[in-house]
Copies of this chain bind each other. A is one copy, B any other.
Amino acid sequence: MIMKARVTVTLKTDVLDPQGKAIHGALATLGFEGVDSVRQGKLIELELDETDRDEAKRKVEAMCEKLLANTVIENYAIDLSN
């Protein structure tokens, strides 16, 4: 059975986000007003060959800690679905 994991990786709030700032500036240049802040993050969608939800969660957490996120400056969130 396939389990889908959606991992969102975002910069911690006190970390500068030059990419978000660039998007913010570009939106202003295009005439979009009323944008207070922009932050850019990553989205990683995984398909796992795993039936046990808890085991899948443990696995994806390990992937985040080891590869997908830099936990010094980034937070991650995991969303599992069948």
Which A residues are within 8 Å of any B CB, using their own CB? 2, 8-10, 20, 23, 26-27, 30, 32, 34-50, 59, 62-63, 66-68
Question: Which chain B residues border A45 with CB–CB below 8 Å?
Answer: 10, 20, 38-41
Name the distance in Å between A68's Cβ and chain B's nearest Cβ.
7
Q: Is B32 within 8 A of A37, CB to CB?
A: no
Name the distance in Å between A53's Cβ and chain B's nearest Cβ.
14
Task: Give CA–CA (A34, B68) in the complex, Å.
Answer: 16
Task: Give CA–CA (A80, B30) in the complex, Å.
Answer: 22
Question: Which chain B residues border A63 with CB–CB below 8 Å?
Answer: 27, 30, 32
Task: Give CA–CA (A48, B67) in the complex, Å.
Answer: 32
